[in-house]
Amino acid sequence: MTSRNLTTPSRRAIVKAAAATAVAAPVLSSASYAVAQTHAPLFLHGVASGDPLPDGVLLWTRVTPSPDAVPGSGNGADTEVRWEVAEDRSFTRTVTQGSLVATAGSDHTVKVDVRGLRPETTYWFRFTAGTTVSPTGRTRTTPALDADTSGVRFGVVSCANWEAGHFAAYRHLAERADLDAVLHLGDYIYEYGSGAYPKTDKVLRPHEPRGEIVTLADYRVRHATYKTDPHLQALHAAHPMIAIWDDHEFADDTWSGGADNHTPGTEGDWAERMAAAKRAYFEWMPVRTSTEGTVYRRLRFGRLADLHLLDLRSFRSQQASTGSGKVDDPERTIAGRAQLDWLKAGLAASDTAWRLVGTSVMISPVAFGSLPAHLLEPVAELLGLPKGGLAINVDQWDGYTDDRKELLAHLMDRAIRNTVFLTGDIHMAWANDVPVTAATYPKSPSAATEFVVTSVTSDNLDDILHVPAGTASLVATTAIKASNSHVKWLDMDSHGYGVLDVTGERSQMDYYVLSDRRNPDATSKWTRSYRTLSGTQKVERVYNPVR
**Structural element, H or E, at residue 221:** helix 216-226
Which CATH superfamily does the domain covering 301-515 fall into? Alkaline phosphatase D (PhoD) (3.60.21.70)
Q: What is the pLDDT of residue 383?
A: 65
Beta-carbon neighbour count of residue 19 at 10 Å?
A: 18
Q: In what order do the strands lie in the sheet with 57-62?
A: 109-114, 57-62, 47-50, 241-243, 181-184, 151-157, 496-503, 506-514, 524-533, 539-541
Q: What is the pLDDT of residue 5?
A: 37
Q: What is the pLDDT of residues 216-248, one digit of tens each?
A: 999 999 999 999 999 999 999 999 999 999 999
> For the chain, which residues make up each domain, given as ranges?
1-145+162-295, 301-515
Q: Which residues of the chain have pLDDT under 50?
A: 1-37, 386-391
Measured over all CA atoms, what is the biggest interatomic distance in the chain, rounded to whole angstroms?
69
Cα 119 from Cα 148, distance rounded (Å): 12
Question: Do residues 223 and 161 make contact, with C-beta atoms less than 8 angstroms apart?
Answer: no
Cα 506 from Cα 376, distance rounded (Å): 36
Cα 546 from Cα 458, distance rounded (Å): 29
Residue 156 pairs in a beta bridge with: 183, 498
**Structural element, H or E, at residue 402:** helix 401-413
Cα 515 from Cα 494, distance rounded (Å): 9
Q: What one-character DSSP code corresponds to residue 491?
A: E
Cα 539 from Cα 417, distance rounded (Å): 14
Cα-to-chain-centroid distance, residue 2: 24
Alpha helices in 239-361 (DSSP H): 264-267, 270-284, 337-349
Question: Do residues 166 and 224 make contact, with C-beta atoms less than 8 angstroms apart?
Answer: no
Contacts of 57 (CB under 8 A, 6+ apart): 49, 50, 51, 114, 117, 123, 139, 140, 141, 240
Q: Quick one: which of 173, 79, 44 has its CA closest to 498?
A: 173
Q: In what order do the strands lie in the sheet with 305-309?
A: 297-301, 305-309, 354-359, 419-423, 446-452, 429-435, 487-491
CATH of 1-145+162-295, one of 1.10.10.60, 2.60.40.380, 3.30.2010.10, 3.30.160.270: 2.60.40.380
Alpha helices in 285-328 (DSSP H): none
Residue-by-residue DSSP string for 115-143: -SPPTT-EEEEEEEETTEEPPPEEEEPPP
**Structural element, H or E, at residue 531:** strand 524-533
Q: What is the pLDDT of residues 330-387, one digit of tens each?
A: 999 999 999 999 999 999 999 999 999 999 999 999 876 655 656 666 766 666 654 4
Is the dihedral angle over the CA atoms 427, 428, 430, 435 positive or is it negative?
negative
Question: Do residues 129 and 65 make contact, with C-beta atoms less than 8 angstroms apart?
Answer: yes
Residue type, position 262, single letter:
H
Q: Quick one: which of 515, 393, 500 has its CA closest to 450?
A: 500
> End-to-end distance of the chain based on CA atoms, in angstroms?
11
- Among left, alpha and beta (phi > 0; psi -120 to 50; other), residue 403 is alpha
Cα-to-chain-centroid distance, residue 249: 11
Beta-carbon neighbour count of residue 343 at 10 Å?
A: 22
Cα 100 from Cα 83, distance rounded (Å): 8
Question: Do residues 98 and 80 make contact, with C-beta atoms less than 8 angstroms apart?
Answer: no
Cα 8 from Cα 136, distance rounded (Å): 13
Question: Do residues 249 and 48 make contact, with C-beta atoms less than 8 angstroms apart?
Answer: no
